[in-house]
Structures are given as C-alpha cells and as structure tokens.
Amino acid sequence: MKINKNSYIFSIVFTFIATFVLVLPLTLAYTATKPIADNYWRLQHYVKTLRSLGLPSSAAQAQEAKNAFESLDKYQVIPASLAAQDSQDYSVVQANVTGALAQAARAGLTGPFDLVQIKNVKVIFQALQDSSATGNLPTFFYITNLNGQKRYAGNFTGPGLWGNVTLAVGVNQDSSQIEGVQVLYNVETPGLGGRINEKGFQAQFANLTPIDGQVEFNPNGQKKPDGFDAITGATITSTAVKDIINNRALPELKAFIAQMGGM
C-alpha cells in the first residue's frame, strides 16, 4: 500500500510520532532528575536559612544542616479566615498573604497577627517545590537561641531585574543588627546581577546595624555601619536587594519579634 505523504492523516501521525520520540527522553530525564533537584533546593534552603541566623552550615554536611534546620522554631503568617485550620495543612501555605505583616508594620501596628507554628517541615518542602521555578516562596519565620540570645530570620521576596529575588534575612533579638543575608533565589544576569549569590557579596551584610530600620549603599568605597557595596554594573539588582531588606525584611521581622514577645 502506497503512503500518501501529502495527506492530512500522514501529517498528523508523523507529527505525533516525531513529538513522542523527541519528548519522551526529556520527560524521562525530568522525572529521573526532579527528586535530585528538589533535594538540592531543600539543602540550599537549610544551609542559607541557618547562615542568615549567623549559624555555621555547609552543604557538604547535609544531614547536620537538615537536623539544625528542623530544630528551628518555624512560623508563618496566615489570613485570619484560616487561623483556626490545621497548621500542617498545605492549603494554609497556599493561601498565605505574604504582604500582610509588612503592611501592618508600615502602618505602625505591632500585632497581634495570625500566626501558625509549622511543626511538619513537609509543609515547607512543598512550598519550596512549588516555588522552585518562580522564587515566589511564602514567608516563613524562624527562631533560634544562641548563647542565651534569640535570633530571628525569615525569607522575603521582591522584584529584581528579570524576575523574583528571594532573600533569607536574619537579625538579633531586637532587630538592631543584621546577622546575615543569603540569596535563596534569583534569575539575574550571570556575571552582573547574578553576583548577588556570591559569598563575598552576601558576607558584607553580617553585623550591619541599620539606621532607622534602613541599610544603604556605601558611598565611594567608604564603609558605613549600615552600608554595603553595590555590584558594579548591576545597580537595579543591588537596589532590589536593598529594597527587599528595607521594605520587607526589616519591618516584617521587627513586627514578628514584637508579636513573639520581643526579647
């Protein structure tokens, strides 16, 4: 039987087979590597959250990082309508209003806010998995105690040049000093804005003392107690980091600390 290669049926069948042959290996590769990618994002979240609190942590010691992360007290702000729900229900995370705490802080309010304590880390794992492509991670807060002093941290998202930038920011017990800043997610230009993920850039935030709840760029190479060096050629991304810290992280952490009874 002679095949009519000009027929619609041939075109449809050929397109289907070609697509199947090309897509199947990609699908299998994605399925095989997704658990590896998920584990990578989890480990990065462990390590960077701990570092933002000023706690030493290394991806090379995965189990130690996991144990240390799980030992942190974890909280999330939720809408009042969901406050009575099971705090381990992922629908609470999906319905998270990430700006609620910041809006209240800017209005001069100190609470009370609707908080749930996250005891099942799978809730956070699911949030990480769902946000791995966008960085739009719901806001979680963390508390630890080091040498009798409490430290607080959270993850905060804002717009960068090409997409979301998510930071883990930690402060001391009265939010007068930043303990650390770590970049959890970014899609900025490699070699320019993408350098915010470099160790040297992130290290300069440790022990900064914000003035009036704000950090600033260092002027002309000078070092200020509340200042950090912007990345040359990446003004927009550097400004995005500053804005996330000033407009989200610091006011939200201050309000969270007040909610939790402060010192």
pLDDT at position 192 is: 95
Predicted TM-score (pTM) of this structure: 0.80
> Sorting pLDDT into bands at 50, 70 and 90, what band is 135?
confident
DSSP secondary structure string for all residues of 86-101: -TT-HHHHHT--TTHH
pLDDT at 79 > cutoff 90: no
Q: What average pLDDT does this structure show over 41-45?
A: 86
* Residue 14, CA distances (Å) to 5, 25, 26, 175 in order: 9, 18, 19, 64
Encode pLDDT of 58-76 as tens digits: 888 989 999 999 999 998 8
> Sorting pLDDT into bands at 50, 70 and 90, what band is 204?
very high
C-alpha 255/C-alpha 112 separation (Å) is: 9
Lowest pLDDT segment from 27-31, 51-55, 156-160 = 27-31
Lowest pLDDT segment from 13-22, 68-77, 168-177, 242-251 = 13-22
Residue 165: strand pairing partners: 158
Average pLDDT, the chain: 83
pLDDT at 7 > cutoff 80: no
The domain spans of the chain are 35-259
pLDDT at position 197 is: 95
> Sorting pLDDT into bands at 50, 70 and 90, what band is 103?
low
